[in-house]
């Protein structure tokens, strides 16, 4: 028997979901909707007595205070009228419905036998006059995503999944032996393997030696292991680099492994004793205190987020959390960081590329996805950034980072011969097939349909359960190694863990969500919330019990053998037998060409003015600069109780913090500082200086909150276009060298990194790359968090200093962006000078001489001063004549206000500390530029003493808060 | 007696258990993080403890409704032990998701219906803003509850929830809450006056942020006192080591009461 139950709000109860959608419909430009009502639907299948169904409704499914229920007869069809439209959305069969397990448990707790199946659906009743075109627009743009859901137009049958056909084993082989080049390419393309001709030939030759054809599973395993996503071919391959007209000139060169020549080389040269494990494990590990280490990893999840923003971001954050959980012998996640790049949310619908979602929908979906997973995992999201450019319209960037903590003696893993391979966590389904290879190609307007299997659905509570039990098992020393199942699923996880020893896996022993999966689907599925453990046989019973005690599945699926082979079986039949050496070492070396041509951009013609107040107001409302409070508040940034400097600070807790400071241990004041640097605009002029500037930005934020560079590690995350195109790769090489030189100069090692390529969106063959974007994430250890400093102005009467030189560097600035120009004079980094400024300010903070400090970045000095002033609710009077600068013809009020020169800080100092502060800064570029007052006026006088900025702080704040106040 | 023992109840999705334990330990208690499965399988019992804490998080993913599945587990699987625990004069605190559990199980406001079970008379539903929000709020403490006794008039704590709007099934329930002085924490502005959004972050009826039962020994509140036990956690106070935060008093009250009475 099937029951359809609708849960409806009682009259008078505020329907927040419905009201939110009503607002979104208005944002679509569709008028005439009077009301939207949301109804939660449950579909139960099973044999119940009527009283039992009523009891399930009354005691479980409704909130008796605010809701009623209706049991809808199977034959009933909801009438749609011209002014009352009904849309009901359910998940596709096979897509995990997170609520299902909880409803089943709830029914069991009522003492009622479990039904055969439970599904949920969402029903929307939209009242108002709408054309069918408008209704379709609303449905497609707001109410469902066709990749994972469908709109029901009749009574839909629950339990579809149970009716999926079973699976009859049949070994599939692929005819490679006789394949000539054109066929090889066809096989690669048809199988979505994203392997090039050279690689396909290498595979063919390997199997010719074995005198047999590969199975489908063998070919897939190789494709995944060799994918850009897993193997990082570009960063590890050979590059023939040439450049023209660049400054600094790197010279033409042949690079063997860009990674080893730049990023890893900086770390090796710096050789810090507090770096525990770098570029080896899932995340980079550094020392925290005498008992604990911390690890940090940042990942991207761009392509999945382009197709399904909520699911993509959701599993993106879920994945990076698992990376940290799988570092060493398991770390506890303590902080999250999230950085996004979107097209502007007010982009005209007509400018959205065909096949892409509107950026506002992408942004809302991504934020919800991160909110859902991060909050439910109980990890505070304390740091982030959001940037906008129209070329992210088809390919947004979603960076997710997680910091974890582990005891020092749990920081290394080693798989031993004879260890059992154990899969823990979620069951395996058909979700996320081909994720690793899919992210190694470009997105097209057809990706939505072709790669729909690549989208995964997250279940954060499942992951939280795995985390809780994993830490228990770790502390009982029950396993010897672990890793997470990420891109490539079991294939990648077991392939990696068994790299040295070899592994044998019985695929029919992997727990499944539903029947019907082939051996290959089991092997490559990217179902979420799974980890693989290597467990000594004598511990297996205890280990399984630790997980079972909290309802987490743990299943033995194989063992690590010592044969140095990857052997897979399905019900006694061998389906894969590959030598680990070939799998991990057989990839042919790659040679790519890179060419960097310095382009000359037009300089803007901006009429010289006396007063720049309207520019400042526009800058404060620039999407990059404006308040991100709408996002930040949706993340729980206080959970775990360690937040000291929060993402929003100020008199009303709403100013923009520079970096976060966290106290991760209850019984110690030792802290962690987290910051990031990102600015693709500089990269449009020169990726070398973008990279240098990103490192500077991340580091100066650490200084701003009172930290020092003593123990600071950084991470690189490159998101780039297609590296097979020499111009894209040329920029990447420059950025990597910018990283190398700057990291060395500042003495900060890279401990981990990641790259994401093929970030291009092509419509009918015309490809638009994203602006090459580098995110630098920094983590610093702080000895005493009670010395930390926030950015908002504290006290009327205090002195305001600017520390660090301003230069004629308006290229790539947000000020130029207001005039749709880029310019050429990109800000450069001068570590010789800045290192001294950084350490002097660190010392001043330690001595308690600093009341507040804010770094100058997007929008330059004018924006930094304004933010400090309105966040603290204090007026400010500033004199540009006192600003320290490097002399050049271009220095004037405009450059002093808006140049985004690096390594600069606005510092508030109490009058009584003036002398001592100045003593610390002696010999360095430091100017006493103004003071704070208790009036509401923000006023800046130009080099000649004339007023060039003048506004009341409320209007500045309003301009800054307005754009994203959704 | 020796240190009171606090049961910090965990389930799938609990995530404020460790900091809640830290707060109780700072207040002088012994704590144990106990998974609800240990109680339902009969291996452990409520009676081993003097205080039961239901910490924040997303029990069972807040599927169906926030706190609902765990509330039903308490009602239908663990009720006898829990009734004995409460009628034996022991203490219960539910924070955020824990408050949602207490309200949805009917333990708060806590009137037993004729059938001997509990009746749900209040609820915590979706914020008026329609979304999860984390922010600091001012709270006025009043009423009659051992947990909030002697707190400063105005305390400052963070909230972080999507479903925190307090509602009741009828005016009578509200009248009774007021008459019995069961409303113990109210959202207000920085000067202690009732106020609208965002001071009242979710649109709660009469600004209600926390209530107690008739005995004054069961407290449920949406704000997180365990996130402000040190002044270092305060968003604006000058950072000084050693100073305590506004939330600590709540835990101290509970631990002190348990120490004196058991």
Nearest CA in chain B to A643: B233
Three-class SS of A409-428 = HHCCCCCCCCCEEEEEECCE
CA angle, residues A352, A357, A360, in degrees to nearest 5: 85
CB contact under 8 A, A638 and B134: yes
Q: Residue B85 is part of a domain; what is its CATH number?
A: 3.40.50.880
Q: Where are the beta strands (DSSP E) in B144-252?
A: 154-161, 163-168, 183-188, 208-212, 218-221
The residue to which tokens 């609902």 are assigned: B68
**Residues on chain A touching B70 (C-beta within 8 angstroms):** none
The two three-digit tokens of residue A606, written as one number:
């901006």
Nearest CA in chain A to B231: A644
Residue among A459, A468, A640 minimizing CB distance to B19 = A640
Interface test with A, best of B66, B134, B204 (most A CBs within 10 A): B134
Which are the contacts of A450, defined by CB distance < 8 A and separation ≥ 6? A444
User: How far is B83 from B95, CA to CA, in rounded Å?
Assistant: 19
Residue among B58, B122, B226 minimizing CB distance to A65 = B122
Chain B nearest CA to A422, separation (Å): 22
Residue (of A705, A384, A789, A855) closest to B236 by Cα position: A789
The reply to whether A785 touches chain B by the CB within 8 Å rule is yes
User: How far is B140 from A452, CA to CA, in rounded Å?
Assistant: 52
Residue among A635, A637, A786 minimizing CB distance to B239 = A786
Identify the three-state secondary structure at position A17: helix
The two three-digit tokens of residue A859, written as one number:
């929008």
CB contact under 8 A, B125 and A66: yes
| CA atoms in the 13 A half-sphere facing the CB of A963 | 20
pLDDT of residue A741: 98
**Residues on chain B touching A20 (C-beta within 8 angstroms):** 130-131
Under a CB-based contact definition with an 8 Å cutoff, are residues A621 and A664 in contact?
Answer: no
Tell me the pLDDT tens digit for each residue of A820-876. Answer: 999 999 999 999 999 999 999 999 999 999 999 999 999 999 999 999 999 999 999
User: How far is A759 from A775, CA to CA, in rounded Å?
Assistant: 15
pLDDT of residue A439: 54
Say what the pTM is: 0.95
In a domain, A102, yes or no: yes
User: How far is A670 from A546, CA to CA, in rounded Å?
Assistant: 32
**Residues on chain A touching B105 (C-beta within 8 angstroms):** none
Three-class SS of A458-494 = CCHHHHHHHHHHHHHHHHCCCCCEEEECCCCHHHHHH
Domain that holds residue A826: 791-966
CB contact under 8 A, B126 and A16: yes
Start-to-end CA distance of chain A, whole Å, equals 44
- Kindly report the backbone phi and psi dihedral angles of residue B104, in degrees, each rounded to the nearest multiple of 5, phi listed first: -75, -20
How many domains in chain A?
2
Q: Is A185 exposed, middle or buried (0-12, 13-18, 19+ CB in 10 A)?
A: middle
Interface test with B, best of A5, A15, A16 (most B CBs within 10 A): A16
In a domain, A46, yes or no: yes
The two three-digit tokens of residue A476, written as one number:
């009982």
Give the orientation angle of helix A726-746 with respect to helix A831-846, to 10 degrees: 50
Question: Cis omega before residue A786 (within 30°)?
Answer: no
Q: Where are the beta strands (DSSP E) in B84-153?
A: 91-95, 122-126, 133-141
Alpha helices in A298-439 (DSSP H): 302-307, 309-325, 359-377, 435-438
Cβ neighbour number for residue A72 with a 10 Å cutoff: 16
The reply to whether A666 touches chain B by the CB within 8 Å rule is yes
Identify the three-state secondary structure at position A687: helix
In a domain, A390, yes or no: no
Q: Is A1 exposed, middle or buried (0-12, 13-18, 19+ CB in 10 A)?
A: exposed
pLDDT of residue A157: 44
CB contact under 8 A, A784 and B241: yes
**Residues on chain A touching B44 (C-beta within 8 angstroms):** none
pLDDT of residue A153: 63
Q: Residue A138 is part of a domain; what is its CATH number?
A: 3.30.1280.10
Q: Which one of A163, A190, A216 terminates a domain? A: A163
The residue to which tokens 């802290």 are assigned: A671
**Residues on chain B touching A640 (C-beta within 8 angstroms):** 16, 18-19
**Residues on chain A touching B127 (C-beta within 8 angstroms):** 16
Interface test with A, best of B29, B64, B137, B228 (most A CBs within 10 A): B64
Nearest CA in chain B to A549: B37
- Kindly report the backbone phi and psi dihedral angles of residue A818, in degrees, each rounded to the nearest multiple of 5, phi listed first: -60, -30
Count of CB contacts below 8 A, A vs B? 166
DSSP state of A142: I
Three-class SS of A871-938 = HHCCEEEEEHHHCCECCCCCCCHHHHHHCCCCCCEEEEECHHHHHHHHHHCCCCCEEEEEEEECCCEE
Put simply, the chain A residues between 308 and 327 with a CB less than 8 A from any chain B CB are none
The two three-digit tokens of residue A860, written as one number:
């330059």
In the set B73, B121, B163, B226, the catalytic residue is B226
Residues of A annotated catalytic, as ranges: 229, 301
CB contact under 8 A, A110 and B229: no
Written as one string, the DSSP assignment of A513-574 is SSS---HHHHHH---SSEEEEEE-GGGHHHHHHHHHTTT--EEEEEEE-SSSEEEEEETTEE
User: How far is A491 from A510, CA to CA, in rounded Å?
Assistant: 13
Residue (of A759, A754, A590) closest to A230 by Cα position: A754
Q: Which one of A136, A163, A190 terminates a domain? A: A163
**Residues on chain B touching A105 (C-beta within 8 angstroms):** 60, 69
Q: Which one of A121, A141, A163 terminates a domain? A: A163
Put simply, the chain A residues between 355 and 414 with a CB less than 8 A from any chain B CB are 371, 375-378
List the beta bridge partners of residue A878.
A930, A940
Q: Where are the beta strands (DSSP E) in A216-274?
A: 238-244, 253-256
Nearest CA in chain B to A57: B64
Which are the contacts of A124, defined by CB distance < 8 A and separation ≥ 6? A18, A21, A36, A37, A38, A39, A86, A87, A88, A89, A143
pLDDT beneath 70, residues of chain A = 74-80, 94, 147, 153-165, 432-456
User: How far is A394 from A306, CA to CA, in rounded Å?
Assistant: 7
ipTM rounded to 2 decimals: 0.96
Question: Cis omega before residue B109 (within 30°)?
Answer: yes
List the beta bridge partners of residue A293.
A287, A406
In a domain, A31, yes or no: yes
In a domain, A338, yes or no: no
Domain that holds residue B41: 5-261
Per run of 10 residues, the mean pLDDT along chain B (length 262 residues) is 92 97 98 98 97 98 95 95 94 98 95 70 94 97 95 95 96 94 97 96 97 96 97 83 89 97 90
CB contact under 8 A, A65 and B120: yes
User: How far is B187 from A344, CA to CA, in rounded Å?
Assistant: 36
Cβ neighbour number for residue B14 with a 10 Å cutoff: 28
In the set B96, B145, B163, B256, the catalytic residue is B96
DSSP state of B220: E
Alpha helices in A639-797 (DSSP H): 680-685, 687-704, 726-746
CB contact under 8 A, A63 and B168: no
Chain A nearest CA to B143, separation (Å): 24
CB contact under 8 A, A378 and B16: yes
The reply to whether A459 touches chain B by the CB within 8 Å rule is yes
CB contact under 8 A, A639 and B60: no
pLDDT of residue A447: 54
Under a CB-based contact definition with an 8 Å cutoff, are residues A560 and A415 in contact?
Answer: yes
Put simply, the chain A residues between 56 and 95 with a CB less than 8 A from any chain B CB are 59-61, 63-66
The two three-digit tokens of residue B36, written as one number:
């609800």
How many domains in chain B?
1
User: How far is B85 from A30, CA to CA, in rounded Å?
Assistant: 57
DSSP state of A739: H
The residue to which tokens 């030792």 are assigned: A670
The reply to whether A910 touches chain B by the CB within 8 Å rule is no
**Residues on chain B touching A111 (C-beta within 8 angstroms):** 76
The reply to whether A548 touches chain B by the CB within 8 Å rule is no
DSSP state of A141: I
Nearest CA in chain B to A22: B130
Q: Report CA-CA distances (Å) from A171 to A48, A168, A517, A518, A574.
A: 43, 10, 13, 10, 9
Put simply, the chain A residues between 627 and 646 with a CB less than 8 A from any chain B CB are 633-641, 643-644, 646
């Amino acid at each position: 028997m099937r029951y359809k139950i609708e849960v409806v709000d009682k009259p008078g109860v505020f329907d927040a979901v419905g009201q939110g959608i009503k607002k979104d419909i208005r944002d679509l430009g569709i008028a005439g909707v009077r009301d939207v009502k949301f109804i939660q639907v449950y579909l139960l299948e099973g044999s119940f007595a009527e009283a039992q169904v009523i009891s399930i409704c009354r005691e479980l499914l409704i909130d008796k205070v605010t809701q009623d229920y209706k049991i809808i007869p199977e034959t009933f069809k909801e009438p749609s009228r011209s002014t009352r439209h009904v849309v009901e959305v359910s998940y596709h069969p096979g897509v995990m419905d997170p609520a299902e397990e909880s409803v089943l448990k709830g029914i069991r707790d009522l003492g009622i036998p479990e039904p055969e199946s439970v599904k949920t659906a969402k029903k929307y009743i939209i009242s108002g006059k709408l054309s069918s075109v408008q209704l379709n627009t609303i449905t497609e743009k707001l109410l469902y995503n066709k990749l994972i859901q469908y709109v029901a137009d009749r009574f839909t049958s629950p339990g579809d999944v149970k009716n999926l056909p079973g699976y009859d084993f049949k070994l599939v082989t692929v005819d490679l032996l006789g394949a000539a080049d054109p066929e090889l390419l066809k096989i690669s393309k048809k199988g979505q393997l994203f392997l090039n001709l050279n690689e396909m030939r290498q595979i063919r030759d390997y199997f010719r030696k074995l005198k047999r054809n590969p199975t489908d599973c063998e070919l897939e395993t190789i494709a995944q292991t060799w994918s850009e996503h897993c193997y990082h071919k570009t960063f590890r391959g050979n590059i023939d680099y040439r450049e023209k007209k660049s400054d600094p000139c790197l010279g033409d060169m042949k690079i063997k492994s860009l990674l080893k020549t730049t990023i890893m080389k900086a770390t090796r040269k710096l050789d810090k004793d507090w770096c525990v494990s770098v570029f080896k494990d899932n995340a980079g590990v550094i020392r925290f205190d005498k008992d604990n280490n911390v690890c940090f990893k940042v990942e991207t999840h761009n392509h999945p987020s382009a197709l399904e923003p909520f699911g993509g971001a959701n599993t993106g954050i879920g994945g990076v959390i698992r990376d940290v959980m799988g570092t060493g012998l398991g770390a506890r996640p303590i902080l999250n960081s999230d950085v996004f790049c979107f097209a502007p949310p007010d982009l005209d619908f007509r400018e959205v590329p065909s096949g892409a979602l509107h950026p506002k929908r992408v942004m809302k979906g991504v934020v919800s996805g991160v909110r859902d997973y991060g909050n439910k995992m109980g990890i505070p999201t304390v740091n982030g950034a959001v940037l906008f450019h129209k070329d992210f319209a088809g390919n947004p960037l979603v960076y997710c980072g997680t910091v974890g903590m582990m005891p020092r003696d749990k920081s290394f893993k080693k798989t031993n011969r004879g260890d059992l391979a154990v899969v823990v966590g979620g069951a395996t389904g058909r979700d996320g097939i081909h994720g690793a290879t899919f992210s190694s190609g470009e997105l097209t307007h057809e990706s939505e349909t072709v790669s729909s299997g690549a989208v995964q659905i997250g279940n954060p509570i499942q992951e939280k359960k795995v985390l809780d039990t994993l830490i228990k098992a770790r502390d009982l020393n029950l396993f010897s190694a672990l890793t997470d199942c990420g891109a490539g699923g079991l294939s990648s996880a077991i392939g990696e863990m068994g790299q040295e020893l070899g592994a044998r896996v019985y695929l029919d022993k992997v727990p499944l969500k539903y029947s019907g999966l082939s051996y290959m689907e089991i092997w490559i599925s990217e179902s979420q919330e799974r980890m693989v453990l290597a467990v000594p046989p004598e511990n297996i019973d205890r280990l399984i019990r630790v997980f079972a005690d909290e309802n987490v599945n743990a299943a033995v699926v194989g063992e690590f053998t010592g044969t140095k082979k990857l052997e897979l079986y399905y019900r006694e039949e061998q389906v894969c037998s590959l030598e680990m050496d070939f799998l991990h070492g057989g990839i042919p070396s790659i040679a790519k060409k890179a060419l960097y041509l310095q382009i000359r951009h037009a300089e803007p013609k901006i009429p010289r003015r006396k007063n720049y107040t309207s520019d400042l107001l526009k800058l404060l409302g620039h999407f990059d600069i404006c308040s991100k409070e709408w996002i930040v508040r949706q993340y729980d940034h206080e959970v775990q109780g360690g937040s000291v400097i929060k993402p929003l600070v100020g008199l009303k807790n709403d100013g923009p913090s520079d970096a976060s400071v966290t106290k991760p241990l209850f019984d110690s004041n030792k802290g962690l500082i987290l910051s990031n640097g990102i600015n693709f605009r500089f990269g449009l002029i020169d990726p070398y200086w973008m990279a240098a500037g990103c490192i500077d930005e991340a580091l100066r934020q650490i200084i701003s909150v009172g930290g020092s560079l003593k123990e600071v590690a950084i991470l690189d995350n490159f998101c780039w276009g297609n590296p097979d195109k020499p111009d894209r790769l040329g920029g990447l090489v420059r950025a990597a060298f910018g990283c190398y030189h700057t990291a060395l100069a500042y003495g900060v090692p890279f401990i981990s990194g990641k790259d994401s390529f093929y970030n291009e969106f092509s419509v009918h063959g015309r490809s638009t790359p994203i602006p090459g974007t580098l995110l630098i994430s920094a983590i610093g250890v702080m000895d005493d968090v009670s010395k930390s400093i926030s950015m908002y102005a504290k006290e009327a009467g205090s002195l305001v200093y600017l520390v660090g030189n301003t230069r004629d560097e308006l290229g790539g600035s947000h000020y130029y962006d207001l005039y749709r120009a880029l310019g050429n004079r990109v800000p450069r980094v001068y570590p010789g000078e800045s290192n001294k400024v950084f350490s002097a300010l660190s010392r001043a903070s330690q001595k308690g001489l600093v009341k507040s400090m804010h770094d100058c970045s997007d929008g330059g000095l004018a924006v930094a001063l304004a933010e400090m002033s309105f966040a603290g609710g204090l007026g400010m009077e500033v004199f540009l004549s006192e600003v320290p600068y490097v002399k050049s013809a271009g220095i004037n009020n405009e450059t002093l206000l808006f140049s985004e020169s690096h390594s600069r800080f606005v510092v508030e100092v109490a009058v009584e500390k003036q002398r001592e502060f100045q003593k610390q800064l002696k010999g360095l570029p430091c100017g006493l530029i103004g003071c704070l007052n208790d009036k509401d006026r923000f006023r800046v006088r130009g080099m000649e003493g004339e007023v060039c900025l003048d506004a009341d702080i409320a209007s500045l704040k309003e301009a800054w808060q307005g754009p994203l106040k959704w | 007696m020796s240190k009171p023992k606090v049961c910090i109840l965990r389930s799938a999705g609990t995530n404020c258990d460790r900091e809640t334990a830290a707060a109780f330990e700072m207040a002088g208690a012994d704590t144990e993080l106990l998974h609800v499965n240990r109680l339902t399988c009969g291996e452990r019992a409520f009676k081993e403890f003097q205080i039961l804490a239901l910490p924040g998080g997303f029990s069972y993913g807040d599927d169906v409704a926030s706190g609902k599945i765990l509330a039903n587990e308490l009602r239908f699987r663990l009720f006898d032990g829990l009734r004995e625990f409460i009628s034996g004069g022991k203490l219960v605190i539910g924070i955020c998701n824990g408050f949602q559990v207490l309200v949805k199980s009917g333990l708060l406001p806590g009137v037993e219906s004729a059938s001997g079970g509990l009746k749900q008379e209040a609820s915590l539903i979706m914020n008026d803003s329609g979304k999860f929000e984390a922010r600091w709020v001012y709270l006025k403490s009043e009423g009659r509850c051992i947990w909030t006794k002697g707190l400063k008039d105005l305390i400052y704590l963070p909230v972080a929830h999507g479903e925190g709007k307090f509602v009741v099934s009828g005016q009578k329930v509200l009248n009774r809450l007021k008459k019995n002085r069961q409303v113990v924490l109210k959202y207000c502005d920085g000067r202690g006056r009732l106020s609208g959004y965002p001071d009242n972050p979710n649109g709660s009826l009469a600004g209600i942020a926390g209530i107690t039962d008739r005995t004054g020994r069961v407290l449920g509140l949406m704000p997180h006192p365990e996130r402000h036990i040190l002044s270092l956690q305060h968003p604006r106070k000058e950072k000084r080591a050693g100073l305590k935060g506004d939330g600590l008093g709540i835990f101290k009250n509970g631990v002190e009461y348990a120490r004196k009475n058991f």
